[in-house]
Structure 1
Amino acid sequence: MDFFNNLFARQQFTSHLLERSFNQPAGWIELALAAALMWFTFWMASRIISRRSASSPKWAFLHHIGQRILWPILLLITAIIGLYLWQSFGFRGVWLQLLVMAARWMILIRLALAVVNAALPDNKITDALERTLATVLWVAFLLWISGIDDIIIHTLKNVELPIGSITLNLYTILTGLLWVAVIMMLALWLARTVNSRLMKSSRLDMNVRIVLSKVITSALVILAILIALPLVGIDLTVLSVFGGALGVGIGFGLQKVASNYISGFIILGDRSIRPGDRLTVDNFTGYVTKITSRFVVLRSAGGVEALIPNETFVTSTVINESYTAKSLWQSLDIQVAYHTDLAQAMQILEAAAAAQERVATDPAPKAFLIEFADNGVNLRVGFWVNDPENGFLGLFSAILLDIWKRFNENDIEFPFPQREVRILNEPQTPDYEAVRHAGQKARADTRSDETFDSDDGVHQ
């Protein structure tokens, strides 16, 4: 019974015990045994993980935690067994007990890091935060195992800070902030877990799922704050003052932020915009890929993404081509020669469009005669595209190639521009009759008529 009571007691660890173990052969043997247990359990954990098949996404988080704590659990079990056997031979365990305490601490650290990894998005900042948190926790373990933490805690308790009508010491404040961080992290992890399950549900509309996700996240964060603030020593009655100050701040500096946040709930609630919709906002056309609390992400066919504030969808005109139905009407113009059998050409246009899988069959493609142009007759074929999010260029190309093939098989001509060409390089000679009449006119009487002469005496 004393063995288990003293298993995690740090009072047995002093610097002279570790120093004495280096001066005794038994100490070196115990250190080698501890190193062997670490290597053996690490090898065993790696073998178990490599043989285990990937878990289903439903249990991905538990599978991730299991992989991270498998080695420290095996190390803890083997270290306890090794310590028990070592003490049964009459030796005092130092390194093995240190290994037991380090294995237990490693389990706690890896559990905390797993929660942080699950609560925060996967990016470089989260990775850096995990490494920093692991370093801080291991430093805390070293301070605790060496007893230096008592000195630090005593110093922090002697530093008092007056806050309003109460006085708090630095240790209470830091402990409260630590609990705030822990509770907030648990709330974020729980919110992300619930949201992940909610997004995979097919029973609810996508907009309803997004609204519930945002409401659950906000509620859990607020609940975490209400639980954590008393731990820091802050009375919840001060929230009324804080709420008034926050209202003033929203009315002035945070007006746009609050407007976008509220507008996000409005557009989700009235279902005017949904993920996958094709929108045109300020001459930018794209598909909705993400709806956040502040903006909507539109992605064009070329990969360009635009971040549109939520307020824009409430206060401005937005063209939603997918509001009622997902399919879109598209058309292609074709010109044929005047001697073409127009009925046959229009049937070919309709058949070429209907042959594509992406083109809707109800309503079926329809061809129209547009106008009699200078060089030929203009025809147009219109059709509904079932999946506009996959683009139109490839579909148009396939339809045009099919039309070209069918026109050639039926001897239907694509007209060329028709122009009258006149050659001007030949010498231009006047007509004979025109020359004769000009000669007669020149030999006629050249006397002037007085009615056409001026009065300045020129005719005299």
Structure 2
Amino acid sequence: MQNGFLTDLSARLFRDFGEPEAIWQIAVLIGMLAVAWWCARLLRKKLDARRQSRFEAVRFGAESLNKALFPLLGALFVSVAQVALAPVIHTALLRLALVPLCGIAVIYTMFYVARRVFSRGEAEHEANALLYLFEKLVTAIVWGAMVLTVMGIQDDFVHWMASVRFNFANAHMTLLSLASGLLWVCVTLIVAMWAGALLDDRLMRARSLDGNLKVVLARVGRALMILAAILVSLSIVGIDITVLGVFGGALGVGLGFGLQKIASNYVSGFIILLDRSLRLGDMISVSGSQGTVTQIRTRYTVVRGLDGIETLIPNEKLITDVVQNHSSFLTRGNAKIAVQVSYRCDVERAMQLLVDATQGVERVLQDPAPAALLANFGADGINLELSFWIEEAAKGTGGVKSHVNRAVWRLFSENGIEIPYAQREIRIIDGVVRTDADSVRNAENRNEGAAPVA
């Protein structure tokens, strides 16, 4: 460890603190940090203003980026000052200040990248667990690197890792090659997932593409990028990717036998997204479950019932079973209300009042216009029917029909339109109670020669 960074730096620091050069270094360091703090504050304001109109994935992790701005700019300005002052004075203090500035900047930058990568995870809890593990691992590695750098033994540590050798199958590896290989794999995967997040944001902002098509393109693009990253990282590490052909064949056999249901659900999910047979917000009924489609995943579809309970329906059932879609592409639905009026009422007036009852009711459309129909002549009165169209029928029609029924009741009461109730004539003959139904049956029995009802 002779002539190490720590020994050289310590000697320079003790020598500089005994000379006026230390005061100049402290003044320059404070000045550069002040300029970095001011510039970081301006950048935070501009970035926060731009994030207001962006998606949640862009805003996610903004705190880490804001924290990374000051050490990044501080390291940049201190590096420039150190290079500029090196020919004139000793800069041991500035060199020492660069270590924590660069380390902290790397930590918060990696935090921001990780939050952008895991912001659109399929499962929120799994994404948070991976994010927590990644942040702890990055923090430990960077702080370890800073300690080694300050102590001046980073070169000795690298030589020690290169000297540790072991065999993995037929490959001869060292601890340094294994660590560098894992590092390259992580870097390429993070870059691929970062690019996938950027592609996802671009697609979601595109207004000319259908919503389902956006989801398909985003997921396929991300999958292809991750696959390419894995192949590139394996090539960089030195693993022959042709050996993956055997693995691919085994995977195909597994999908054909053991994983056919899972594969079927994944293929069905892409079919649903591509043919646009279902859309987010559609009210559907399938296999006894009814509700609104809230998510369409690659393996299952989430349907939220009217009671708020979410049901996960495998995509294969949405392809093979009969699915009733209660949502119109025009977001309109037809509703009907049946009402009975007395034979003594003015039928034309009653039909006009039915149409008037729809006026002013929220979500009831006037084009097509509501129509009142005489359905049939009942035993107790005339059966009328009111037909009208409702806007955004997927939100439900019960409330609208209730408002219209209350308006019908009010208008009928104000205009003397009678709504009859069932009436039955009861006769007492020789102490026996007989109803109209009994009389009718006796008449039928007499016609057929059967005994009358007692």
Same fold (TM over 0.5): yes
Give the corresponding residue for 1:238.
243
Task: Pick which of 243-252 and 362-371 moved more.
Answer: 362-371
Q: Equivalent of 1:139, from 136, 143, 149?
A: 143
Task: Pick which of 48-57 and 268-277 moved more.
Answer: 48-57
- CA RMSD, Structure 1 to Structure 2 (Å): 3.9
Q: Secondary structure at the match of 2:313?
A: strand
The answer to whether the 8 Å contact 2:161/2:174 transfers is yes
| Counterpart mapping for 1:6-405 below 5 A | 12-14=5-7, 17=10, 21=14, 40=34, 44=38, 47-48=41-42, 51-52=45-46, 54-55=49-50, 57=53, 61=58, 64=62, 67-80=66-79, 83=82, 90=89, 92-121=90-119, 123=124, 124-125=128-129, 127-129=131-133, 131-145=135-149, 146-322=151-327, 325-353=330-358, 355-370=360-375, 376-405=381-410
Task: Give the AA of the match of 1:407.
Answer: F
Q: Secondary structure at the match of 1:225?
A: helix
Task: Pick which of 122-131 and 218-227 moved more.
Answer: 122-131
Cα separation, partners in 2 of 1:50 and 1:217, compared to 1, 3 Å: closer
Q: Secondary structure at the match of 1:121?
A: helix
Structure 2, unaligned runs of 5 or more = 432-454
Q: Secondary structure at the match of 1:167?
A: strand
1:372 and 1:383 map into 2 onto residues whose CA distance is 22
Q: Secondary structure at the match of 1:275?
A: coil
Cα separation, partners in 2 of 1:114 and 1:284, compared to 1, 3 Å: same
Q: Displacement of 1:294 after TM fit?
A: 0.7
1:115 and 1:327 map into 2 onto residues whose CA distance is 44
Aligned length: 414
Q: Displacement of 1:317 after TM fit?
A: 1.4
Q: Displacement of 1:38 after TM fit?
A: 8.9
2:253 and 2:227 map into 1 onto residues whose CA distance is 20
Q: Displacement of 1:403 after TM fit?
A: 2.3
1:77 and 1:155 map into 2 onto residues whose CA distance is 32
Q: Displacement of 1:30 after TM fit?
A: 8.8
Rg larger for? 1
The answer to whether the 8 Å contact 1:336/1:376 transfers is yes
Using the size of structure 1 for normalisation, the TM-score is 0.76
Cα separation, partners in 2 of 1:130 and 1:353, compared to 1, 3 Å: farther
User: 1:93-132 CA distances to partner (integer Å, 9 max, x unpaired)?
Assistant: 4443222233233333333322222121265336524532
Q: Secondary structure at the match of 1:339?
A: coil
User: 1:381-425 CA distances to partner (integer Å, 9 max, x unpaired)?
Assistant: 2333231233333322332333233223322234455567999xx
Cα separation, partners in 2 of 1:303 and 1:73, compared to 1, 3 Å: same
Cα separation, partners in 2 of 1:38 and 1:14, compared to 1, 3 Å: farther
1:40 and 1:422 map into 2 onto residues whose CA distance is 105
The answer to whether the 8 Å contact 2:235/2:241 transfers is yes
Q: Displacement of 1:315 after TM fit?
A: 1.7
Q: Secondary structure at the match of 1:237?
A: helix
1:131 and 1:120 map into 2 onto residues whose CA distance is 12
Cα separation, partners in 2 of 1:127 and 1:219, compared to 1, 3 Å: closer
Q: Equivalent of 1:408, from 374, 389, 413?
A: 413
User: 1:353-376 CA distances to partner (integer Å, 9 max, x unpaired)?
Assistant: 354452344433333344555655
Task: Give the AA of the match of 1:98.
Answer: L
1:170 and 1:147 map into 2 onto residues whose CA distance is 21
Give the corresponding residue for 1:457.
none
1:228 and 1:250 map into 2 onto residues whose CA distance is 26
The answer to whether the 8 Å contact 2:5/2:152 transfers is no
Percent identity of paired positions between Structure 1 and Structure 2: 34
Task: Give the AA of the match of 1:245.
Answer: A
Using the size of structure 2 for normalisation, the TM-score is 0.76
1:309 and 1:340 map into 2 onto residues whose CA distance is 55
Cα separation, partners in 2 of 1:47 and 1:169, compared to 1, 3 Å: closer
1:149 and 1:257 map into 2 onto residues whose CA distance is 49
